[in-house]
Amino acid sequence: MASEFRLYPGIPRDKSCIINRELVLHGLYDVVSRPLMRLSDPEYYDPKGYRTDLKSWPARDTDGTRAAVATWNKHLDGLWSQATVPPWRRVTAT
């Protein structure tokens, strides 16, 4: 299985995953700051979304979920086209 990474300079509001263009997992990041005792910084945010509750839409269930999956595919395709390949993934000719 291959993976590709890109960077999108937006606010991390949504946690969205699309698996094989057939299953969408979506939730809103918990952006409430919390104290973190081990670091000197008094606040942190949850950038990985460990506390994010995800709703799932399988494309095969109903017309409504198929439409939702198609909408999410279109939306994330648009974001993907605007995102840049991170510098650590760029191949330079030698």
* pLDDT tens profile 32-69: 655 555 555 556 556 666 778 888 888 887 878 888 89
> Listing from the earlier edge strand, what are the strands of the sheet with 14-19?
14-19, 23-28, 55-58
pLDDT digits (tens, 9 = 90+) for 1-35: 667 777 777 777 888 888 888 999 998 877 665 55
Q: What is the pTM of this model?
A: 0.64
Longest dimension (CA), the chain: 51
Structure confidence at residue 73 as a pLDDT band (50, 70, 90): very high
88 SS3 class: helix
